[in-house]
Structure 1
Amino acid sequence: MNPHFFKNKVALVTGGASGIGLATCLKLAGQGARIAMLDMDEKALDIQQDIFLCQGYKIFPIACDVTKEQACQSAVSKVLRKFGQIDILFNNAGITQRGLFEKTDTFVFKKVMDVNFYGSLYCTKAALPSLIKTKGTIIVNESIAGVAPLLGRTGYSASKHALHGLFTSLRCELRHKGVHVMVVCPGFIRTNLQKRALGSDGRIATHKQTRVGKEDTPENVANQIVKGIVKKKSILVLTFIGKLSYLISRLFPLWYEYLMTHQFKKEL
């Protein structure tokens, strides 16, 4: 990889104060990028700013609730005033839910969609003029659930399928303008996402989560994302089980439904 590829490029990362977002911020900073870290957790942003400074990296932390369009527009404006450009937008902020559809309140679906889908839409819409000028890269943290069904997570899967439709279509619209769109489909990753999963009533889910295969680390995911940016990957499917699931769901969709249902139904 060209050691100067990311030098002075500006990366805006949502949900950047923890998990995959944080690991990606650190990796990009190490490659010379200037980091705008967005997160709704102001305390976490303050902590990470100090940690990054101790490692010799300056970041621009911005408290932002991505479910609010005006907040996203304001955050992007702050980044442009600070750096003058945006080269990389990583739509990473997300939330999940676990529970049977028939028992899940409809407001839970809306909350998940507001964060996962509309948060990404709002940030992309606001940052797009700059990304077109820089011929930049848009990344969306999707999931295997964005390309295949997932039992007991209908709200989460719906939001991720919506992201897949939006960003693969957007890729077609922006290709001739030099903007690249990369969809990232992690498997099971060791983050706090599942600890904050919403249950059917909107409160934190307490039932045990089903996992398939070994959990990967955010650091490994970040390494693959950074390499994917350089190689202009269209879709980045991660972990062995993730790749296997993606392949089976593409080639044998009904068989995939049967295997996945058998694996996950005991959770519910």
Structure 2
Amino acid sequence: MAGRKFTDKVVVVTGAASGIGLAVAERFARAGATCALLDMDEPRLKRCERQFSQAGHRVMGLCCDVTRRADCEASIQAVIDRFGGIDVLFNNAGITQRSAFSETRIEVYERVMAVNFFGALYCTKAAIHSLIQRRGLIIANESIAGVAPLLGRTGYAASKHAMHGLFTSLRSEVRDQGVHVMVVCPGFIKTHLQDRALGGDGTVTRHPQSRVGRQDTPAHAAETIFRGAEKEKDLLVLTAVGKMAYWVSRLAPSLYERRMARQFKAELER
């Protein structure tokens, strides 16, 4: 069975000015896609747009704060107006949190949900009719924290579990209309996400991140995501440690929880 092809397709990426978002946009652009880059960091976004143009790629940069529904709707409509529709939507914009539940303000949970869950919801809702019309593809960048517990990240895990419920359920609704939904669960990827992790008071935490195994690169993750998109994978778990965590959490959830808690407990005591 031939896989999806992305030459001359329109690809929208949120959180596109750095990390996995930028690497994925670059990979689709090299495959001949037109890319719409959405990000709230306007100076970095403009540099990325310039680099894409200089490389001969068709590109559009849009400053968009995904926590604002009006921003998402306006950005998606601007892409449709300029390019005629959307073939791929990569919901990638995200934020994380590292702090004990008892020490975390409610406002932190609201912020994490606003970016991770509602940002993805707003963009998908705005694009869904175009995606259905063009029998497109939705990619949701989640996390192992979207399918398994993760100590010290109750806000992050909650937002990613919410995304998982939304996008796996949406897949069951739109599959017969020709739209595919692929869920991506990265393991540890070397991006700036963790450098901006929120602490319990809402400021960037000074606690260093705990990790298991070697970090992957955004470029390698992007290649895997691109190949998964071609094959219309339902679930794509990245990195060897990520795959191990996924299967242990499925097959032996109590064991996973105990070992994970031991691994990450020291992070909250530093």
TM-score range, shorter chain: over 0.9
> Could you tell me the TM-score, scaled by structure 1's length?
0.98
Structure 2 distance, partners of 1:223, 1:94, is 20
Which residue of the partner structure matches residue 204 of structure 1? 204
Whether the 8 Å CA contact 1:11–1:36 is kept in 2: the answer is yes
* Shift, 1:242, TM fit: 0.1
**Unpaired segments of 5 or more residues in structure 1?**
none
Ranges in structure 2 where 5+ consecutive residues have no aligned partner: none
Q: List aligned pairs for 1:210-225, cutoff 5 A.
A: 210-225=210-225
Aligned residues: 268
Instruction: Give the 5 Å matches for 1:115-264.
Output: 115-264=115-264
Contact 2:33 2:58 in 1 (8 A): no
Is the CA contact 2:141–2:184 (under 8 Å) kept in the aligned structure 1?
A: yes
* Separation of aligned partners in 1, 2:209 and 2:72: 32
Q: Partners of 2:161 and 2:50 in 1: how far apart?
A: 37
Kept in 1, the 8 Å contact 2:37–2:49? The answer is no
**Cα distance 1:3–1:49, how it changes in 2: closer, same or farther (>3 A)?**
farther
Aligned mates of 1:51, 1:61 — CA distance in 2: 11
The Cα offsets for residues 33-88 of structure 1, whole Å up to 9 and x where unpaired, read as: 00000000110111111212222223100000001111111001100011001000
What's the RMSD between the two structures over aligned residues? 1.3
For the structure 1 residues 236 and 17, does the alpha-carbon distance in structure 2 shift closer, same or farther, using more than 3 Å as the test? same
Whether the 8 Å contact between 2:136 and 2:178 is mirrored in structure 1 is yes
Measure how far apart 1:3 and its partner are: 10
- For 1:3 and 1:70, the matched residues in 2 are separated by 35
Distance in 2, Cα, partners of 1:4 & 1:144:
26
**Whole-Å Cα distance in 2 between the matches of residues 205 and 59 of structure 1?**
35
Assess if the C-alpha contact under 8 Å between 1:4 and 1:32 holds in 2. Answer: no
Alignment-derived partner of residue 27 in structure 1: 27
Q: Distance in 2 between matches of 1:145 and 1:254?
A: 15
Residue 231 of structure 1: how far off its partner (Å) = 0.4
3-state DSSP of counterpart to 1:109: helix
Q: Cα distance, 1:161 vs. partner?
A: 0.3
Q: Secondary structure at the match of 2:198?
A: coil
**Could you tell me which amino acid in structure 2 is paired with residue 237 of structure 1?**
V
Q: Is the 8 A contact 1:49 1:58 kept in 2?
A: no
State the TM-score, normalized to the length of structure 2.
Answer: 0.97
8 Å CA contact 2:98, 2:197 repeated in 1: yes
Runs (4+) of structure 1 exceeding 6 A deviation are: 1-4
Within 2, Cα distance between the matches of 1:160 and 1:89? 17
- The one-letter amino acid paired with 2:190 is R
Which residue identity lines up with residue 148 of structure 2 in the other structure?
A: A
Distance 1:4 1:109, change over 3 A: closer
How many Å separate the matches in 2 of 1:115 and 1:76? 16
CA contact under 8 A between 2:12 and 2:88: conserved in structure 1?
yes
> CA, structure 1 residues 126+40, in 2 after alignment: closer, same or farther (shift >3 Å)?
same
How much has 1:5 moved relative to structure 2? Answer: 1.6
CA distance in 1, matches of 2:4, 2:18: 26
What fraction of aligned residue pairs are identical, expressed as a percent?
57
Match of 2:82?
A: 82
Does the Cα contact within 8 Å between 1:3 and 1:31 map onto a contact in 2?
Answer: no
